[in-house]
Amino acid sequence: MITTSAPAASPPQAAPHLDLDARMALRLAEMDERCTLAVLAVDVNSAHIPAAEPLPEITAPPHIVPAAAPCPYSTPLAAVLYRAQQRMERDGWTTRQLRDEQGQACCMGAIRAEASSRSQADDACAVLLEAIQRDFRDATTIPSWNDAQRNPRLPLIYLGRAADLANARNQ
């Protein structure tokens, strides 16, 4: 009599030890397969949808530059200080020089560019210095105060305050 017996089961073998790079490579291969299947599923599931109309070309509206606002001051010094403020807003602000090659100006440079005469520029600078010294008592000159600023915010504000002061004095 011949008896057949099932082969003896081999003891479970431990899975081979894989380093991190090998495990990551296996996961990457699994993810690539899953992504490929997902893309195919989208293609199959959307095959019956008709193609959409192409989007119309969108163009930007033309750039419109607003007209300069008229000077709100009727007095000459206030008008000079207002125009100096507008010039500095438009062309930019600088320190350590009256004007640079790009047209940026400090407070005095903007005033001199807008004044019709040297004496008018000096009078406007005197009003500006007074407006500055109301809040900055240690400011001795406009250039030193201008150079101490980090950005054009305060110079622009004080040109406006000086314009208001000159207008209030009817200058």
pLDDT in tens, 71-108: 999 999 999 999 999 999 999 999 999 999 999 999 99
pLDDT confidence of residue 157 = 96
Residue 93 three-state SS: strand
Contact 91, 103 (CB under 8 A): yes
* 19 part of a folded domain: no
Per the structure, the count of domains in the chain is 1
Residue 20 confidence (pLDDT) above 80? yes
* 50 part of a folded domain: no
Q: Looking at residues 120-146, what average pLDDT do you find?
A: 95
Q: Looking at residues 116-134, what average pLDDT do you find?
A: 96
* 161 part of a folded domain: yes
* 55 part of a folded domain: no
* 147 part of a folded domain: yes
Express as a percent the part of the chain with pLDDT over 90.
68
* 87 part of a folded domain: yes
Sorted by sequence, the CB contacts under 8 Å of residue 159 that are 6+ apart come out as 81, 82, 84, 85, 88, 107, 110, 128
**Domain of residue 117, residue span:** 76-168
pLDDT confidence of residue 59 = 81
* 126 part of a folded domain: yes
pLDDT confidence of residue 1 = 47
Residue 125 confidence (pLDDT) above 70? yes
Of residues 65 and 107, more confidence is placed in: 107
